[in-house]
């Protein structure tokens, strides 16, 4: 660790004044950009008292938004979890041609604007989309309905688990698995008894980040949902609707739930990094 | 995005072209097949389909839509604000990363954990919170109003939102490089008579720079496409504070699929070029630091 010697040898570190100034600058910057928005969310939510806050949360439309958000995450996260495990098994445990291309393609959703992530499905399944007329004739609705919301969420959270697992499994190598196979374990036994215990904390870490994004996604979902209150409104969308209706207390009340989710995610993430640093991938992001 | 180390100990037994290096581990076919199928279904086919729909529009209309003054201005706002925010973050993000890596002070762990808040906080929540702060009646907005200028509902508001969104990219990209810095190099520079500032600009900064550029590129790419945190604070005034993603949504709401598709594809094209640039930069970073 370079920190210790530096504090004792001022020749290579900064002077105490400079040190204080830099720490102050960093804290000031983070206070303005991180702490202030959080404080704003909670103070605006409670601006008219606890009663108004609770009334905003107990609204049937708000409750249905909470339900939809949980449902969508409950579908999207497991799908991307299975994909993440399969992708990292193929990429980390085997050598094949075109691996770096596959890695780049898995990262693709990170570099696509959320709005475009929704648009691609509208162009496929929307009323004027390529499959739109066929879907309408068969009575299936995807866009402006829950399936579209799920698809858009799966798209934007696509790389999270894979991105966490691939570097971790690459670091761990293949010796353990090879030993298990040589000793007569089946493929499934090897995965369940050898690989899974090695990657469980990294897996949890990836799921945590995937879930936070799944519950919080706004742009992609906004394009496909149609904003039907009580039906296709997720929590982030409900925040927008309430805000645009100048119902600020209710908007910030729902927003405070999402902010709480973000804080819990950060706390769990920090706990994992602190406790199991060696068992999650070196690349934090 | 770490270096992919070769993982199998076994070497190809025979020479010549083989898709898969020999291995005794099972399950490659299933895992690889599923990965490829899922990737195609969720990502590649929908994106490719969008590109085909854009191609259907034809070159003339493609350029007519893209080069319309309102669209061009939105591109200018999106890319300009994203670049400005990324550069602001380059300075402050470097300071934050430096302070977190080099100094020990009370609350450091808390601050370290909080740096990822923009990744975890839903963008619409960030959007309304920042608007509440920087609107003319907000905490900081009121100060700005007294000083005679506006932050929210101007491009300045967009920059603020993008600084929030992009900050962790810089800090998290620079942090590992700062951690790996060799103290001996700094000691050598100091013992040869360099001032601290000279050591920083001549010795440290060139080492940090590749990672810093990568972080800036990542934050820039994210900022260009950002929607949720921007639309509340931007005010969305055409030709002043209208961003490209909002324009796409507006076209969709008017059922102008062709317009939305063309603008989206043009933006994807630029994003793709940036991705290539990032990859190039990362490779360059890696080769410079290969030990």
| Residue-level pLDDT at A285 | 38
The answer to whether residue A44 scores a pLDDT higher than 50 is: yes
Taking CA atoms, A209 is separated from A1, A167, A202, A233, in Å, by 28, 16, 11, 22
The answer to whether residue A168 scores a pLDDT higher than 80 is: yes
Taking CA atoms, A119 is separated from A143, B53, B236, in Å, by 10, 12, 20
Q: Measured between CB atoms, does A260 come within 8 Å of chain B? A: no
* Residues forming a β-bridge with B20: A96
Report the residue of chain B nearest A123, measured CA to CA.
B50
Per-window interface: B 229-248 vs A, CB < 8 A = 232, 244-245, 248
Low-confidence stretches of chain B (pLDDT < 50) are 1-13, 291
Of the candidates B207, B281, B67, B35, the residue with the CA atom closest to the CA atom of residue A105 = B35
- The model's pLDDT over B234-257, given as tens digits with 9 standing for 90+, comes to 877 787 788 999 999 999 888 888
Which percentage of chain A shows pLDDT scores above 70?
94
CA distance A163 to A206: 8
| Residue-level pLDDT at B8 | 45
3-state SS of A238-271?
Answer: HHHHHHHCCCHHHHHHHHHHHHHHHHHHHHHHHH
Domain around B177? 69-290
Contacts of B255 in chain A (CB under 8 A): 128
Contacts of B199 in chain A (CB under 8 A): 12
Task: Report the pLDDT averaged over residues A23-34.
Answer: 90
> What is the three-class DSSP state of A161?
helix
| Residue-level pLDDT at B196 | 81
- The model's pLDDT over A214-258, given as tens digits with 9 standing for 90+, comes to 999 999 999 998 888 878 899 999 999 999 999 888 899 999 999
Domain limits, chain A = 59-283
Q: What is the DSSP string of A29-46?
A: HHIIIIIHHHHHHHHHHT
CA of B177 vs chain A CAs: smallest distance (Å): 12
| Residue-level pLDDT at B289 | 57
Residue to mutate among A6, A111, A215, with most B CBs inside 10 A, is A111
Number of Cα atoms under 13 Å in the Cβ half of residue B3: 9
Report if residue B21 sits inside a domain.
no
Residue to mutate among B124, B175, B285, with most A CBs inside 10 A, is B124
> Assign residue B58 a region: left if phi > 0, alpha if psi is -120 to 50, beta otherwise?
left
CA distance A95 to A226: 44
* Residues forming a β-bridge with A96: B20
Query: Which CATH number do you get for residue B80?
Result: 1.10.3720.10
Contact B102 A5 (CB under 8 A): no
Helix intervals (H) in chain B = 28-39, 45-57, 59-66, 69-102, 108-114, 117-120, 123-134, 139-147, 155-180, 183-191, 196-198, 205-225, 228-234, 244-253, 257-289
Give chain B's domain count: 1
Contact A95 B92 (CB under 8 A): no
| Residue-level pLDDT at B286 | 63
- The model's pLDDT over B203-221, given as tens digits with 9 standing for 90+, comes to 888 888 888 888 888 899 8
Pick from A94-108, A202-216, B234-248: least confident = B234-248
Q: How many helices (H) and strands (E) in chain A?
A: 16, 0
Contact B140 A108 (CB under 8 A): no
Q: What is the DSSP letter of A174?
A: S
Contacts of A12 in chain B (CB under 8 A): 183, 186-187, 190, 199
CA of B12 vs chain A CAs: smallest distance (Å): 10
Report the residue of chain B nearest A257, measured CA to CA.
B125
Query: What mean pLDDT is reported for chain A?
Result: 88
> What is the three-class DSSP state of B20?
strand
- The model's pLDDT over A12-22, given as tens digits with 9 standing for 90+, comes to 677 788 888 99
Contacts of B227 in chain A (CB under 8 A): 113-115, 218-219, 222
Of the candidates B50, B198, B99, B61, the residue with the CA atom closest to the CA atom of residue A112 = B50
Task: Report the pLDDT averaged over residues A82-97.
Answer: 92
Report the residue of chain B nearest A91, measured CA to CA.
B32
Contact B232 A243 (CB under 8 A): yes
Q: Measured between CB atoms, does A84 come within 8 Å of chain B? A: no
| Residue-level pLDDT at B141 | 80
| Residue-level pLDDT at A239 | 92
- Tell me the CATH number of domain A59-283, given options 3.20.20.140, 1.10.3720.10, 2.60.120.560, 3.30.465.10: 1.10.3720.10
**For helices B257-289 and B45-57, angle between their N-to-C axes, nearest 10 degrees:** 130
Q: What is the DSSP letter of B11?
A: P
Of the candidates A122, A117, A72, the residue with the CA atom closest to the CA atom of residue B43 = A117
Write down the pTM of the prediction.
0.87
CA distance A154 to B2: 24
CA distance A248 to A69: 21
Report the residue of chain A nearest B12, measured CA to CA.
A95
Burial (CB count <10 Å: 0-12, 13-18, 19+), residue B206: exposed
Contact B187 A12 (CB under 8 A): yes
Contact A95 B118 (CB under 8 A): no
Burial (CB count <10 Å: 0-12, 13-18, 19+), residue B207: middle
């Amino acid at each position: 660790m370079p920190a210790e010697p530096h504090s004792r040898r001022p020749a290579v570190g900064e002077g105490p004044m400079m040190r204080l100034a830099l720490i102050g600058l960093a804290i000031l910057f983070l206070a303005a950009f991180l702490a202030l928005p959080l404080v704003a969310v909670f103070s605006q939510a409670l601006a008219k008292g606890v009663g108004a806050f609770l009334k905003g949360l107990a609204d049937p439309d708000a409750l249905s938004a909470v339900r939809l958000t949980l449902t969508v995450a409950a579908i999207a996260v497991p799908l991307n979890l299975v994909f993440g495990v399969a992708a990292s098994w193929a990429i980390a445990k085997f050598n094949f041609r075109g691996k770096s291309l596959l890695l780049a393609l898995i990262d693709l959703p990170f570099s696509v604007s959320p709005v475009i992530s929704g648009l691609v499905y509208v162009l496929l399944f929307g009323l004027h989309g390529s499959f739109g007329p066929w879907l309408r004739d068969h009575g299936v609705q995807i866009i402006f309905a829950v399936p579209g919301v799920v698809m858009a969420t799966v798209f934007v959270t696509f790389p999270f688990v894979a991105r966490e697992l691939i570097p971790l499994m690459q670091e761990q190598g293949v010796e353990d698995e090879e030993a298990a196979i040589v000793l007569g374990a089946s493929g499934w036994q090897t995965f369940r008894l050898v690989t899974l215990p090695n990657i469980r904390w990294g897996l949890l870490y990836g799921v945590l980040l995937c879930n936070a994004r799944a519950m919080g996604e706004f742009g992609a979902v906004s394009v496909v949902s149609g904003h039907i209150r009580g039906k296709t409104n997720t929590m982030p969308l409900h925040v927008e609707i309430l805000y645009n209706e100048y119902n600020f207390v209710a908007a910030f009340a729902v927003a405070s739930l999402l902010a709480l989710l973000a804080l819990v995610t950060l706390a769990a993430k920090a706990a994992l990094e602190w406790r199991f640093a060696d068992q999650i991938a070196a690349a934090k992001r | 995005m770490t270096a992919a180390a070769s993982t199998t100990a076994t070497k190809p037994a025979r020479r010549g072209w083989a898709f898969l290096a020999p291995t005794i581990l099972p399950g490659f076919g299933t895992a690889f097949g599923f990965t490829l199928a899922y990737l195609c279904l969720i990502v590649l086919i929908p994106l490719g389909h969008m590109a085909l729909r854009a191609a259907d529009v034809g070159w003339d209309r493609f350029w007519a839509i893209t080069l319309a003054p309102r669209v061009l201005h939105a591109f200018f706002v999106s890319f300009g604000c994203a670049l400005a925010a990324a550069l602001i973050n380059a300075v402050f993000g470097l300071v934050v990363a430096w302070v977190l890596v080099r100094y020990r002070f009370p609350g450091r762990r808390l601050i370290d954990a909080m740096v990822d808040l923009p990744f975890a906080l839903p963008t619409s929540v960030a959007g309304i919170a920042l608007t509440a702060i920087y609107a003319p009646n907000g905490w900081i907005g009121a100060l700005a109003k007294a000083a005679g200028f506006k932050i929210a509902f101007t491009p300045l508001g967009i920059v603020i939102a993008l600084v929030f969104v992009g900050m962790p990219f810089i800090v998290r990209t620079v942090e590992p490089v700062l951690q790996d810095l060799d103290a001996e190099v700094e000691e050598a520079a100091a013992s040869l008579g360099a001032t601290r500032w000279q050591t920083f600009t001549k010795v440290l900064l060139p080492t940090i720079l590749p990672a810093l550029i990568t972080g800036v590129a990542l934050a820039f790419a994210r900022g260009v496409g950002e929607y949720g945190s921007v639309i509340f604070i931007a005010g969305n005034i055409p030709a002043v504070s209208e961003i490209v993603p909002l324009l796409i949504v507006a076209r969709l709401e008017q059922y102008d699929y062709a317009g939305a598709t063309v603008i989206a594809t043009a933006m994807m094209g630029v994003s793709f070029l940036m991705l290539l640039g990032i990859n190039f930069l990362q490779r360059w970073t890696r080769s410079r630091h290969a030990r």
